[in-house]
Chains A and B, each alone.
Chain A
Amino acid sequence: MIISVASGKGGTGKTLVATSLALSLKDRDKGREKVQLLDCDVEEPNDHIFLKPVITRREAVSIPVPRVNEETCTYCGKCAEVCVYHAIAVFSENILVFPHLCHGCSACSYLCPEKAITEEMREIGVVESGHADGIAFAHGKLNVGEPMATPVIRMVKAQASHEGIVVIDVSPGTSCPVVESIKDSDFCLLVTEPTPFGLSDLSLAVETARELNIPCGIVLNRAGIGDSGVEEFCHKDNLPILLTIPLDMEIARNYSRGVTLVQCMPQWKESFLRLFECIQEIADERSHSLKR
C-alpha cells in the first residue's frame, strides 16, 4: 500500500505527518509489516533531519544528454528541428548542446541521419537509501542549480518496496514534481492549515489528486489558528478530515529541533494508527468498487 503525503501549500506539516505516520506504523503488529519512507521532496528533502537514517547505498541520478561527433556531423539541422526543448542548436557550421534544457528523450541521437550523436550521462542528483529505527528509508537530492526534479523523484520511487506500507513525502505545490510523486499512490493524504492560503492551495491539491484518480483525505494541522474555511470546504466537498493536530507551541519547538511528533509526544501514536485505519478503509472500499 502506497500513501503519499502532499499539501499544495508549503510548511503545513507534510514532513511532520509523514515521519510520525511511518514511525507509528513500524511498531504495529510487533513490526511484522514492513514500513518504508520515501522522501520525494528532492528539492528540499527534510525527513532525514528527523529520522537520522543510516545510509547504506548512494546512487547518482543521471539523464542521457547528446554528445555530437563533429567529424561526422554535416550540420544538417535535423537534431535541432526535432528537439522541442531547444537543447541543441545548429547554425552554419556550428552545433551547440545546452545540457540543462535536455530532457533525455533521445530523439536527436535516434533521428540523426549521420549517426553523429551519441548519448552521455549527466548527473543531476543522487538517491540515498538505508534504514532508520526499523524503517526502510530513501530520499533523493537534486543538485543545486539543476532545474529538473522529476528524474530524481522517479529514481526515489523505484526504491519502493512491493510489500508492506510505503509512505511518500511530497514537495509543496501542484505541478510536475507533485504529480510524479503521487501518481500510482493508493491514497493521498493532504496536510493543510485552517487559513485562506491553506484552503486555496488545498483546493488545487484536491483537484490534482482527483485528476489522477487517487482517493484523498485531510490532515488539519495547527487547528485553531485561522478560520473555518477549510472545514466548510471539506464538508461541502465530502472530504474526510482524518486527523486534527492543534496549534501547540510545544509541537512547534520540538519540530524546530528536529524531533518528530510521536517521539516528543508518544500519545499521538494511537491517533496516527487510527488515521492509518481510516486510510485503509477508504482505499479498500475504493479497490472493491473498482473491481465491481
Chain B
Amino acid sequence: MKEVTVLSGKGGTGKTSIVGSFAALAKGAVLVDCDVDAADLHLILEPAIQQTHEFWSGRTAVVDEDRCTQCGLCQELCRFKAIKDFKVDRVSCEGCGFCSHICPDEAITMKENLAGHWFISDTRYGPLIHAKLGIAQENSGKLVATVRQQARAVAEKQKLNCIISDGPPGIGCPVISSLSGASLALLVTEPTLTGIHDLERVLGVCHHFNVPAVVSINKYDINQENAQQIEAYCHTQGAHVVAKIPFDNVFTEAMVHGLPVVKYSDGTVSQQISRLWQAVSELLDNN
C-alpha cells in the first residue's frame, strides 16, 4: 500500500486543487481528506455518502451542583483554568478528568464528547473518506488518524494500492497525524517569503518523521526570484522540485464549477498537473 500526503505549511497554496486533480488522474486510488476542521475536497469530487459514522472522542467535566460544596479544590488544581465559579468552561476543558478524581464530594463526572462525524463516500474517481469535526471540538489529530485508518481498510477491501491524502495547513497535531507512516509527502508551496518560511518548517516535520518529500511550486511566476530560491533551498535539503505551475485563474474557475482542474481544462496548468502526478506516482512505485 502506497500513500502520498499533500501538505504545504502555509494555507491556500493549492493542496486541495492538486489532490482533486490527482483523484481524476490516478484512476482507482482511495482519497482521504485529512483537513477535518476545514474540509473542501468534497466540493470538487461530488461524493455520494455511503456511510456516516459518529466520532466520539475526548470528554468534558460536568459538575453536579447538588453535590458540589464549592470547596474550590478543582478550580485550584485544574491546569487549564477550565473551572470558574464552580462551572466548567467546555472550551477550556481538555478532558483530563483530574478534577473528577480529586473532588472530595464526588460531584464531577466526565461526559463523552460527540466530536464530529466521518464518512465513506463514492466518487466517480474512487472512494473518498472524509470527516467533519464538530464546531469548537478538540482531537482533530485523532479524527485524522481515524479517516486514514478507514482509508487503509477500504483500500484493502477494494484491492486498491494507492491512497492520496489531502493534508491540513500548519505543522502541528493534525499534520503529524496526516503524515506519519506515509510513503511520500508532496509539499505544495508558492514563491512568497511566507510560503518559503512555512515550507522550511513543514519540510522539517517530514525529516523529523522520516517521510521523503518532493515539492511543487504553485503560482511560480508571481515571483520568479523567490521560485529560484526555493529550488536552491530544496536542493540542499534533498527534496526535489518536481513541478512549477504558473498562476492561472483556471484553479478558481474549476473550483466554481465543482470540478478538478484537469477535468475542467486541458490547458498548460492541467498538463503540468498531469506531469506532476506522473512524477509522484513513479516515486510511489519505486519507493
Contacts and interface: CB of A to CB of B under 8 A. Distances in A.
A11 B222 CA distance: 15
Contacts of A176: 138, 140, 173
A84 B97 contact: yes
The A interface, classified by DSSP as helix, strand, loop or mixed, is loop
Given A43-B170, A84-B97, A255-B192, A197 B40 contact: yes
A35 to B, nearest CB: 22
B95 interface: yes
Contacts of A178: 37
B11 interface: yes
Contacts, number: 186
Contact of A105 (B98, B169, B173): B98
B13 interface: yes
Given A43-B171, A46-B194, A46-B198, A175 B98 contact: no
Contacts of A146: 172
The B interface, classified by DSSP as helix, strand, loop or mixed, is loop
Nearest to B170: A43
B171 A172 contact: no
Given A12-B12, A174-B37, A49 B168 contact: no
B10 interface: yes
B101 interface: yes
A225 B101 contact: no
A145 B255 contact: no
Contacts of B194: 15, 44, 46, 49, 255, 258
A118 to B, nearest CB: 15
Contact of B79 (A43, A105, A111): A105
Contacts of B252: 195, 225-226
What interface size band does chain B fall in?
A: 35 or more
B191 interface: yes
Interface residues of A, number: 59
A172 B170 contact: yes
Interface string A180-205: 00010000000000011100110010
Contact of B96 (A103, A145, A148, A195): A103
Point out which of B191, B223, B258 has the most chain A C-beta atoms below 10 A from its C-beta: B223
A190 B226 CA distance: 29
A74 B25 CA distance: 58
Point out which of B36, B101, B135, B209 has the most chain A C-beta atoms below 10 A from its C-beta: B135
B185 to A, nearest CB: 14
A99 to B, nearest CB: 14
Contact of A175 (B8, B43, B174, B205): B174
Given A148-B173, A212-B91, A179 B136 contact: yes
Contacts of A12: 11-12
A217 interface: no
Given A147-B141, A172-B169, A204 B135 contact: yes
A111 B98 CA distance: 9
9 closest A-B pairs by beta carbon, nearest first, are A10-B11, A11-B12, A105-B96, A43-B170, A144-B204, A147-B173, A145-B208, A107-B98, A256-B192
Interface of B: 8-13, 16, 35-40, 43, 59, 77, 79-80, 91, 94-98, 101-102, 133, 135-138, 140-141, 168-177, 190-195, 197-198, 201, 204-205, 208-209, 222-223, 226, 249, 252, 255-256, 258
